């Protein structure tokens, strides 16, 4: 049998032959069974356990991981820990051959781009096998250590578990060695007796760091990992780092002669979670497919090749009771202890889930309180396939339990879906009627869930609202054709309802029609449906702020009226926002109504949007309160809250900008990405208004940093993205005024004037033109262009625009020789700015404003402390000249590292960053260490400063 053929190896790290990442030839020096590679007494040792197995032929170089091992092996312990199939053994074997065995084996060592020039001490290798006790392990450890240190036969390395005096002698010998001893222990999780490693831990503590361990294991090691971690002596490489990137998946497929388009590569990586075992199986299988892209689209854990591997390598080692827990909780995408107890009846579900996430590595913990857990995608596929084979009555009972748990836990959308799948039509109808305002979707992500079975005709005849429940579930999944079909079915059965029920049915059906129209981007139908819905309000209800409609039905009460106001107000506000408008008042009123009836999901949407729009208006205190309220609402309630949080973070960025806190503004902009699109370079990828406001913030920050050209480019793209929105005139004017200011800073006065030319009904453009005329030296033209910022209608302007206009008025008065009037005007501007904490308009102003502030201190002011601070800060905040990048990085930051780098600007802790990104804290810490290393930094502030110098932020 040819050992180089892939078919003769386990596809991943489950057996003694593993596939690898680096292209190295096989060694040919394996000794036969019974050959002792060194002194071993009468115990025959296998040379194959003292040398790493060769990888297969089709491999992918992974220099980032090899480099991590190089760096980690400079410390006491490096742990490569992951479940089966993550390529632990292959990675370690490739690294050992490259660091210690390349010269002997004839391996081709990659160039400096793959492996650093510093070569670690030559490693010694021991493969641990199931059943190894202390004596057997120490026999191999002795052989490996003797090979690494080369002592004489009477040296201090014992063949059996050493006595204390032998351990001390061995520790002293290692401490006095000329170079460190590097020992690689693979599959160390197979040791079940902690006493077997007692001597090893003693050597680690007393060999003066001349013994360095590199360990490969699944989990549950009998080593003092917590002590090592707290002492900073542990380097950890886990599944997040071992997972393949899109580029590595493409390289693997190419190596197997199965190249795919980028979209299919990303789909494959997403379906596998980057799991090397599944990717290798897929690479081998896809070659024989007539339509590889279509095959990838259906690739899942229930396919025979994947299912067999998961059964043998992952599930076989799990206790049957825990396996049953995994199968039953696979009913949900994520599970917490309370839900697991409801589904299984186990009272120890919290401990079981923690164990499966820890020692087993089967579950991923999503940080939060309480903790939630998620299966890897392919394992979830397999578990759901097993779940589907349960008896129908048992499976139905599980869905009922899930529906009831979700219904009582503030997740009605999940509860509705499970009730429908279980065929509990009564429960589904009750859930829909009680929670209909919370059963709407506010993002556009399609839920990847098959439609539940349709109710039988006799059920619909008796209760047509069940069909409305089906329509709500499909609308939540963004399956709009199916939702419309269910609505038509419901209408067909509604004729037999008694009058009170018919009125309620009409109200609920109209609310669903509004939801479908909004998700279908049909603003005309949204407004029409909102008007119809409001006509069902209880008689005598206040219609202030609502479309022109009159109530026609009685009953329902105050709570129902508040539901209708919150629901329609939110829907209309979202439509207006999507058209480029800034309807802050509508969201404020809808939020108040949602709070009346405890509709937390609706309140979150309104709070986050009103926060941003209040910030744009200049109500900084109101915006900050709304944003903090939104971000403080309970997570994990079955909603997609990332978009809402993005709006809240963007509001905080605007607030920080106006308060002249650029670092905080930049940090919150980084957190606002779900609403704004990626880094502002592609505004059309985010919500249109949010993306435009983010571009405005980033452009101002670029201007402050002395790079107005970069800010100008952002504003041009943002204006283009708003061009087709019918109600974006006010926001577009703010963008044009900001762009004109940046052009003027660059000396392009003609281009700035062209931007500001035309209709000056928008105050931002008129104020911008007045500033431009003053910069050009024509004070008279500036005075004629400046609008009356003290007129009653000016109270509706955004506060920053009013402040700009007031300061220009004060400067013009001073230029005209009327210093007393200039002082009065400046005091009025301070009266407006002070309560909101607006500082930027003063600190980033030009010299005439700073001179006015200085003179104002001498003349006397009610804002003496504020003006003193502004004078000081204005002198310390000159426009900075652009700096050239201080060189380039030897190793670029990965996409994930760049994301975390943006979070490092904020005040968030590693735990909070992990929660934001749905990563483990250890993963975030690993990325942070990589960032520090690549940026040559030792702490957070230094890394951020260095990143800004390199224009990474």
Burial of 103 (0-12, 13-18, 19+ CB in 10 A): exposed
Q: How confident is the model at residue 357 (pLDDT cuts 50, 70, 90)?
A: confident
* Most confident segment among 668-682, 743-757, 864-878, 890-904: 743-757
Cα→Cα distances 34→3, 44, 48, Å: 21, 4, 11
Positive or negative torsion for Cα 288, 292, 296, 299? negative
Packing angle, helices 921-935 and 910-917, rounded to 10: 110
Residue 823 has pLDDT above 60, yes or no: yes
Q: How confident is the model at residue 548 (pLDDT cuts 50, 70, 90)?
A: very low
| pLDDT (tens digit per residue) in 551-570 | 433 345 788 899 999 999 99
Whole-number pLDDT of residue 15: 37
Whole-number pLDDT of residue 309: 82
Measured distance CA(691)–CA(674) in Å, rounded: 10
Whole-number pLDDT of residue 13: 38
What radius of gyration do the chain's Cα atoms show?
33
Q: How confident is the model at residue 395 (pLDDT cuts 50, 70, 90)?
A: very high
Measured distance CA(707)–CA(705) in Å, rounded: 6
| pLDDT (tens digit per residue) in 597-612 | 989 889 999 999 999 9
Measured distance CA(233)–CA(226) in Å, rounded: 10
For 55, how many CA atoms within 13 A lie in the half-sphere containing its CB?
A: 27
Please state which of the ranges 293-302, 389-398, 509-518 shows the lowest mean pLDDT: 293-302
| pLDDT (tens digit per residue) in 45-79 | 888 888 887 776 666 778 888 888 988 888 888 99
Residue 37 has pLDDT above 60, yes or no: no
CB neighbour list of residue 260: distance below 8 Å, 6 or more residues apart: 250, 253, 268, 286, 292, 293, 296
Q: Nearest-CA neighbor of 715 among 697, 730, 688, 729? A: 697
Residue 642 has pLDDT above 50, yes or no: yes
| pLDDT (tens digit per residue) in 790-807 | 999 999 999 999 999 999
End-to-end CA distance of the chain: 55
pLDDT, mean of residues 607-635: 92
Measured distance CA(663)–CA(948) in Å, rounded: 11
Percent of residues, the chain, with pLDDT higher than 70:
84
Cis amide bond preceding 874, omega within 30? no
Please answer whether residues 93 and 18 qualify as being in contact, where contact means their C-beta atoms are separated by less than 8 angstroms.
yes
Q: Nearest-CA neighbor of 561 among 592, 586, 582? A: 592
Percent of residues, the chain, with pLDDT higher than 90:
35
Residue that wins the pLDDT comparison between 622 and 36? 622
Whole-number pLDDT of residue 411: 86
Residue that wins the pLDDT comparison between 441 and 714? 714
Q: Which helix (H) or strand (E) holds 217?
A: strand 211-217
Cα→Cα distances 760→72, 601, 717, Å: 63, 40, 22
Residue 501 has pLDDT above 70, yes or no: yes
pLDDT, mean of residues 12-37: 35
Please state which of the ranges 70-79, 241-250, 442-451, 703-712 shows the lowest mean pLDDT: 442-451
Strand 211-217 versus strand 181-186 pairing type? parallel
Residue 43 has pLDDT above 80, yes or no: no
Assigned token pair, 853? 């502030």
Residue 549 has pLDDT above 60, yes or no: no
| pLDDT (tens digit per residue) in 114-142 | 333 344 467 889 998 888 887 888 888 88
| pLDDT (tens digit per residue) in 834-873 | 899 999 988 888 778 878 888 877 777 787 888 787 777 6
Q: How confident is the model at residue 368 (pLDDT cuts 50, 70, 90)?
A: low
Residue 887 has pLDDT above 70, yes or no: no
Burial of 19 (0-12, 13-18, 19+ CB in 10 A): buried
Whole-number pLDDT of residue 883: 37
Residue 7 has pLDDT above 80, yes or no: no
Please answer whether residues 38 and 146 qualify as being in contact, where contact means their C-beta atoms are separated by less than 8 angstroms.
yes
- DSSP designation for 540: T
Measured distance CA(181)–CA(51) in Å, rounded: 16
CB neighbour list of residue 364: distance below 8 Å, 6 or more residues apart: 357, 373, 374, 375, 376, 920
Whole-number pLDDT of residue 685: 46
Beta bridge partners of 335: 373
Burial of 445 (0-12, 13-18, 19+ CB in 10 A): exposed
Q: How confident is the model at residue 402 (pLDDT cuts 50, 70, 90)?
A: very high
3-class secondary structure, 270:
helix
Residue 691 has pLDDT above 90, yes or no: yes
| pLDDT (tens digit per residue) in 274-325 | 888 888 888 888 877 778 888 887 788 877 878 888 888 788 878 899 999 9
pLDDT, mean of residues 323-330: 93
* Most confident segment among 170-184, 889-903, 905-919: 170-184
Whole-number pLDDT of residue 150: 64
Please answer whether residues 608 and 640 qualify as being in contact, where contact means their C-beta atoms are separated by less than 8 angstroms.
no
Q: Which residues of 827-864 are buried (b: 16+ CB within 10 A; e: fewer)?
A: bebbebbeebebbbbbbbbeebbbebbeebeeeebebe
Whole-number pLDDT of residue 106: 32
3-class secondary structure, 1:
coil
Whole-number pLDDT of residue 612: 97
How many beta carbons lie within 10 A of that of residue 365, not counting itself? 18
pLDDT, mean of residues 642-664: 92
pLDDT, mean of residues 203-212: 83
CB neighbour list of residue 757: distance below 8 Å, 6 or more residues apart: none
pTM: 0.73
Measured distance CA(229)–CA(211) in Å, rounded: 17
Please answer whether residues 578 and 600 qualify as being in contact, where contact means their C-beta atoms are separated by less than 8 angstroms.
no
Residue 216 has pLDDT above 80, yes or no: yes
Residue 29 has pLDDT above 70, yes or no: no
Beta bridge partners of 363: 375
| pLDDT (tens digit per residue) in 224-261 | 777 777 777 888 888 888 888 888 888 888 888 877 88
Whole-number pLDDT of residue 302: 75
| pLDDT (tens digit per residue) in 482-499 | 999 999 999 999 988 888
pLDDT, mean of residues 734-762: 88
Q: How many residues does the chain have?
A: 953
């Amino acid at each position: 049998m040819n050992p180089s053929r892939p078919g003769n190896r386990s596809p991943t790290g489950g057996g003694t032959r593993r596939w690898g990442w680096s292209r190295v030839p096989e060694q040919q020096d394996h000794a036969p069974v019974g050959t002792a590679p060194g002194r071993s007494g009468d115990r025959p040792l296998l040379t194959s356990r003292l040398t790493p197995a060769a990888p297969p032929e089709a491999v992918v170089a992974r220099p980032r991981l090899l480099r991590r091992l190089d760096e980690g092996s400079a410390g006491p312990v490096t742990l490569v820990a992951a479940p089966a199939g993550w390529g632990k053994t292959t990675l370690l074997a490739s690294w050992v051959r490259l660091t210690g065995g390349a010269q002997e084996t004839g391996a081709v060592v990659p160039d400096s781009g793959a492996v650093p020039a510093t070569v670690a001490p030559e490693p010694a290798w021991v493969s641990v096998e199931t059943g190894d006790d202390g004596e057997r392990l120490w026999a191999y450890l002795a052989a490996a250590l003797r090979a690494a240190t080369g002592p004489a036969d009477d040296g201090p390395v014992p063949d059996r578990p050493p006595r204390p005096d032998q351990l001390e002698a061995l520790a002293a010998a290692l401490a006095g060695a000329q170079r460190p001893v590097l020992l690689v222990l693979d599959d160390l999780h197979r040791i079940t007796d902690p006493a077997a490693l007692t001597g090893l831990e003693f050597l680690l503590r007393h060999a003066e760091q001349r013994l360095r361990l590199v360990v490969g294991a699944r989990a549950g090691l009998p080593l003092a990992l917590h002590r090592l971690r707290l002492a900073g002596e542990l380097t950890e490489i886990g599944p997040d780092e071992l997972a393949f990137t899109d580029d590595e998946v493409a390289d693997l497929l190419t190596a197997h002669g199965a190249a795919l388009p980028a979209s299919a590569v990303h789909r494959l990586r997403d379906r596998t979670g980057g799991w090397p075992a599944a990717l290798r199986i897929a690479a081998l299988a896809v070659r024989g497919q007539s339509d590889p892209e279509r095959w990838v689209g259906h690739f899942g854990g229930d396919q025979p090749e994947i299912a067999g591997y998961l059964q043998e390598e992952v599930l076989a080692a799990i206790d049957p009771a825990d396996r049953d827990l995994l199968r039953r909780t696979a009913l949900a995408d994520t599970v917490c202890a309370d839900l697991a107890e409801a589904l299984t009846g186990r009272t120890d579900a919290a401990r079981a889930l923690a164990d499966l996430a820890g020692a087993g590595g089967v579950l991923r913990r999503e940080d939060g309180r309480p903790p939630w857990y998620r299966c890897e995608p392919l394992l979830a596929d397999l578990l759901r396939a097993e779940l589907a084979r349960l008896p129908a009555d048992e499976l139905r009972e599980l869905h009922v339990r899930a529906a009831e748990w979700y219904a009582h836990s503030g997740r009605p959308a999940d509860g509705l879906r499970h009730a429908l799948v279980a065929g509990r039509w009564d429960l589904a109808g009750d859930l829909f009627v009680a929670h209909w305002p919370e059963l709407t979707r506010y993002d556009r992500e399609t839920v990847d869930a098959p439609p539940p079975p349709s109710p039988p005709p006799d059920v619909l005849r008796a209760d047509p609202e069940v069909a409305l429940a089906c329509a709500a579930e499909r609308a939540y999944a963004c399956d709009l054709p199916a939702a419309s079909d269910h609505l038509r079915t419901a209408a067909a059965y509604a004729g037999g309802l008694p009058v009170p029920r018919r009125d309620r049915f009409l109200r609920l059906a109209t609310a669903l029609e509004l939801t479908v129209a909004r998700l279908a981007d049909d603003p005309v139908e949204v407004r029409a449906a909102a008007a119809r819905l409001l006509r069902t309000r209880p008689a005598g209800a206040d219609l202030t702020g609502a479309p022109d409609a009159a109530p026609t039905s009685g009953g329902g009460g105050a709570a129902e009226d508040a539901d209708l106001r919150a629901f329609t107000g939110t829907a209309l506000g979202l439509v207006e926002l999507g058209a480029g408008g800034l309807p802050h008042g509508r969201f404020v009123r809808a939020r108040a109504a949602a709070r009346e009836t405890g509709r937390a999901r609706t309140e979150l949407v309104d709070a986050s949007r009103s926060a941003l729009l209040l910030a744009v208006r200049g109500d900084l205190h109101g915006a900050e309160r709304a944003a903090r309220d939104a971000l403080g609402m309970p997570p994990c309630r079955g909603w997609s809250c990332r978009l809402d949080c993005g709006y809240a973070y963007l509001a905080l960025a605007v607030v920080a900008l106006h308060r002249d806190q650029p670092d905080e503004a930049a940090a919150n902009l980084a957190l606002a990405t779900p609403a704004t699109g990626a880094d502002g370079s592609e505004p059309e990828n985010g919500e249109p208004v949010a993306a435009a406001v983010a571009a405005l913030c980033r452009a101002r920050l670029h201007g402050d940093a002395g790079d107005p050209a970069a800010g100008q480019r952002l504003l041009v793209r943002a204006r283009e993205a708003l061009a087709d929105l019918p109600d974006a005139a006010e926001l577009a004017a703010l963008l044009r005024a900001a762009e004109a200011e940046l052009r003027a800073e660059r000396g392009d006065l003609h281009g700035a004037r062209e931007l500001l030319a035309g209709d000056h009904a928008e105050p931002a453009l008129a104020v911008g033109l007045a500033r431009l005329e003053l910069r050009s030296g024509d004070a008279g033209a500036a005075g004629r262009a400046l609008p009356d910022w003290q007129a009653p209608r000016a109270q509706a302007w955004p506060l920053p625009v009013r402040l700009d206009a007031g300061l220009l008025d004060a400067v013009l008065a001073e230029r005209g020789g009327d210093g007393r009037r200039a002082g009065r005007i400046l005091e009025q501007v301070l009266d407006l700015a002070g309560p909101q904490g607006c500082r930027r308009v003063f600190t980033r102003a030009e010299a005439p404003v700073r001179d006015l502030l200085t003179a104002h201190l001498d003349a006397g002011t009610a804002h003496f402390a504020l003006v003193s601070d502004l004078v000081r800060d204005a002198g310390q905040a000159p426009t900075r000249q652009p700096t050239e990048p201080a060189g380039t990085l030897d190793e670029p930051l990965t996409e994930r590292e760049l994301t975390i780098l943006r979070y490092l600007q904020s005040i968030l802790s590693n735990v909070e960053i992990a929660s934001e990104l749905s990563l483990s804290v250890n993963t975030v810490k690993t990325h942070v260490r990589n960032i520090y290393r690549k940026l040559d930094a030792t702490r957070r502030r230094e890394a951020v400063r260095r990143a800004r110098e390199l224009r990474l932020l």
